[in-house]
Amino acid sequence: MRLVTWQPDDLVHRLDDVIEVYGSAMGYHADLLQTRRGYVAAHAGRPGFRAVATLGDRGGLLGFGYGYTSTPGQWWHDQIRASLRRDNAKGWMSDCFELVELHVRPSEQGQGIGQRQLDALLSGLSHRTVLLSTPEADENVSRAWRLYRRFGFVDVLRNFYFPGDDRAFGILGLIMPPPGHLPA
């Protein structure tokens, strides 16, 4: 397997694979996945877009991750900002990279793929903070939660509900360390 950096066109070109991995990792129904296609394709054009993918020996998509600069007027940014106290919003969201998606095909989880993808996305990042949302889970059981905690992500909001989703999410944040100080 190999980790590659993707340009916006690479993500859009592999959109079917991206949506399939996303759906299997998140357990979403096919109806929701069709609406996500447009969002994911649009995200590729956002300022500060960065993406990585892990490809198998035959080029199959094992995992991917991407994010971009979080700015006012973006749906996720505005949802989170409205839920934070003004001082917290300013501190977390003034110079923020939004880690939008980080997924590994369930059959490939537990092999360090997510960690390598997250490390690659955060390496050399010029933003002061990183924010992400992830479904609430038992932190001792969830691989995603354990990964984010290892990287130093802390709680920003817990039990947050996005409009149209009946699941609770945790909003986690990372204040970026100096270059070369991400966990191995």
pTM attached to this predicted model: 0.91
39 is catalytic: no
Q: How are beta strands 169-175 and 129-135 bridged, if at all?
A: antiparallel
Own/partner pairs for 23-29, CB < 8 Å, 24+ apart?
A: 24/105, 24/106, 25/103, 25/104, 25/105, 25/106, 26/103, 26/135
CA-to-CA distance for 182 and 80, rounded, in angstroms?
Answer: 25
Decide: 51 and 65 in contact? Cβ < 8 Å: yes
Would you state the structure tokens that stand for residue 21, as one six-digit string? 């991995």
Of the listed 39, 68, 148, 161, which one is catalytic?
148
Domains defined along the chain, listed by start: 2-175 (3.40.630.30)
Model confidence pLDDT, tens digit, residues 14-29: 999 999 999 988 887 7
Work out the average pLDDT over 59-68: 96
